[in-house]
Amino acid sequence: MDGRLQVFAGNSHPSLAASIMAELEAPLGRAMVGTWKNGETRVKLDENVRGSDVFVIQALCDPINHHLVELLLIIDALRRASAARITAVIPYFAYAKQEKKTSGREPISAKLVANLICTAGAQRILTIDLHAPAIEGFFDIPVDHLRAAPLLARHARRAGIESIVAVSPDAGGVARTEEFRVRIGGSLAIISKRHPGPDVSEALEMVGDVEGRTAVIVDDMISTGGTLTLAAELLRERGAESIHACATHGIFAADALEKIDRSPIERVFVTDTLPLPAAGPRAKLGVVSVAPLLAEAIMRIHKDLSISALFT
């Protein structure tokens, strides 16, 4: 791209946006992103973006639909202001668990959200740890899908957690857990579970030996905390000496923080793709910043350099 680099952000995660700009050593683009008196979202750019390579930072966190509309309107404003290229930087992509129909007469919500973002005018997506990798195929534009496993594994080593049993809380997360295990060392265990209802999990069985070992549960997100605490209870029953957890996205919906605080888990490491809830116990939480990773990815995209180097 010959155009200058400019970065804008919505209101979903201002602290992450500020951290990314500190890494880039540049100011955030000036824009009015607010709400009209009638409740409608208002966006007005206060910068000339004609011919620029523009990135929009917006995590789709609670209130999800409001932040999604902010993202769509910012992208539309940039397109109408003749930005040369628009990249949506979405650290957490909401609706990712709704990537397929589980019964009749249901939407495929993740596909619809992808369509909306593309229709608004985004020409590229930068995101971290999609819940279902197949969502990349929902976009008809390039998707740079970053992984947080290297960051989390490095942080776990610094915390003195090594030679562990990496535990996947379900069969769908085995590849993610194996990547973490390869980076930190140790063996692998897999928990089989089923979902009798929405946001309800039941552990059935576990493959792997954790007796007398340090177990680390690896997942992409912690939502209600049900899966995590259920896995921790099973690991304690199987004789794990200590139990930790690593996850990319700390949603912590409802009373998730309280569940974790009451569980046998000693420490939970998450990244800052999402802002932490304002209330709830945090004594067991450790937060790893993705700002350096996203800043490096933004510069590489701007300069047309390889993103694959960030996975090593």
Catalytic annotation, residues? 193
Q: How far apart are CA 294 and CA 288, in angstroms?
A: 13
Give CA–CA dist 136/237, Å, rounded.
Answer: 38
Burial state string for 222-231 with b = 16 or more CB within 10 A and e = fewer than 16? bbbbbbbbbb
Tell me the chain's radius of gyration from C-alpha atoms.
20
**SS3 label, residue 62:** coil
User: Measuring CA to CA, which residue among 265, 12, 263, 290 is closest to residue 151?
Assistant: 290
φ/ψ (deg, to 5) at 232? -65, -40
Hey, what are 239's tokens?
């004789």
Q: How far apart are CA 208 and CA 101, in angstroms?
A: 32
C-alpha–C-alpha distance, residues 185 and 67, integer Å: 39
Q: How far apart are the first and last CA of the chain?
A: 25
Residue 40 CB: number of other CB atoms within 10 A? 9
Alpha helices in 83-221 (DSSP H): 109-120, 149-158, 174-184
Give the sign of the dihedral formed by CA 9, CA 91, CA 153, CA 228: positive
Distance of CA 305 to the CA centre of its chain: 23
